[in-house]
Amino acid sequence: MTNAKPMTILRKLTPALLLTLCALMPSLPTMAEEADEETEVKGVTDYIAMEPAFVTHVGKPDAKVAYLKASVTIRASRETTRPAVEAHMPRLRHELVMLFGEQTDLDQLSSMDGQQALREEATKRINGVLEEQQTGETITGVLFTEFVVQR
């Protein structure tokens, strides 16, 4: 008879325990997502300068020669991104030289909107190279620390 009491208590508690666990289950993924968000917020910001500055011709082929000088810094949000960027720096610089050389609308290039679009496209191209090289890394943005269009 002494064994009957613990079994009776266990039978009475089991439904309550199951209900409590079921009630907590939907909030577990939310708690994990909140932890991930906190990690991202507390993450690092690493600025990687692409030296030397880029100097290339821009504009339409039949027009007067114009030049672009752009100093570029890559913004990364993980410590592991820098080694991947540095390992592929020649290819990344090539992509940006090609991008800058494709610019034909000097008025657009000189505007804030045009520069923002160029920064976004540069970010896409750099991330494309990092993905193609299977680094598992991405950058969060491209900054122009110097940007001069000479006509």
Asked if pLDDT for residue 8 goes beyond 70, the answer is no
| Tokens 């266990």 sit on residue | 10
Q: Which domains does the chain have, with CATH numbers?
A: 4-41 (no CATH), 46-150 (3.30.479)
pLDDT digits (tens, 9 = 90+) for 120-149: 999 999 999 999 999 999 999 999 999 999
Query: How far is residue 72 from each of residues 14, 23, 50, 64, 121, measured CA to CA in Å?
Result: 63, 51, 6, 25, 13
Q: Binning pLDDT at 50, 70 and 90, where does residue 17 land?
A: low
Strand order in the sheet with 141-150: 46-58, 66-76, 141-150
pLDDT digits (tens, 9 = 90+) for 48-100: 999 999 999 999 988 899 999 999 999 999 999 999 999 999 999 999 999 99
> Which pTM does this prediction carry?
0.71
Q: Which residues pair with 150 in a beta bridge?
A: 67
